[in-house]
Amino acid sequence: MFDFEELLSIAYKKERALSRRLSKGASISAHDALVKTLEKAAGAQSLGELVHARRLARAKAHEASKAREKRPARALKPKHHHDHPPGAWLAWFDGSALPNPGRIGIGALLKSPHGDVLEISAAAGQGDSSKAEYLALISVLEAALHRKAETLVIYGDSRVVIDDVKSSPGALALASHAGHARRLIDAIGDVRLHWIPRAKNVSADALSRQGSSRTSTTGAAPNVSLSA
């Protein structure tokens, strides 16, 4: 006969709960209730066979746990959402309309393979947020083309504009801006557009908001600065 503590150590949580209810309901000892519960769980097996099988399973689980602890920790590799081709220029763009529609501000950053960063910030007239995003994209494409970039990876937080410029035809209301952006993309050659969350586009967002606070007319030259 197995003692109570031994049976308790191999019983599952549900079986222990059932045995407690059985002990209380049938007015039998906790040991007898646990024996009956485990005999029922054993089915065609004997109680001894059930206990033996669970002891083996517990021993194997313990050995596996010890083996995992002995393994050397694997170095965590940083996760990259997008790979940058060698020698690629990088860009981030954002547009704001305050209110929407309202005053448009555009912001963008263009980073050369050597690490030089061009910042673009400008007011761009009146319109909605999609127009603002497109004008920001166009401004950084023009800057990249002017600097003879041949491979360009662009990040933005506007799914509307990124999806629209990749599709043909896109939204009718944005057709003129989309056409302009696609011509610039074709002129550069290898251009890759990727969506990123707004939280990862804070620099371009800040530049666009600075732009919207300026007084300017549509088509005015953007304010740019270059830093290493």
The domains of the chain are located at 4-70, 89-227
pTM of the predicted model as reported, rounded to 2 decimal places: 0.60
Q: Would you state the pLDDT for residue 162?
A: 94
pLDDT over 70 (residue 61): yes
Q: At what angle do helices 129-146 and 159-166 cross, to 10 degrees?
A: 60
**Residue whose pair of structure tokens reads 């023009």 in the numeric block:** 142
- For the ranges 20-24, 42-46, 65-69, the lowest mean pLDDT is seen at 65-69
Nearest to 138 by CA among 108, 163, 160, 158: 108
Q: What is the pLDDT of residues 114-130, one digit of tens each?
A: 999 999 999 999 999 99
Whether 152 and 190 have beta carbons less than 8 Å apart is answered as yes
**Pairwise pLDDT comparison (56 vs 144), residue with the higher score:** 144
Say yes or no to pLDDT of 108 above 80.
yes
DSSP assignment of 207-221: HHHHHHTS---TTPP
pLDDT at 223: 54
Q: Which of 205, 203, 87, 201 is nearest to 153 (CA)?
A: 87
Which CATH number describes the domain made up of 89-227? 3.30.420.10
Q: Structure tokens of 94?
A: 């954002």
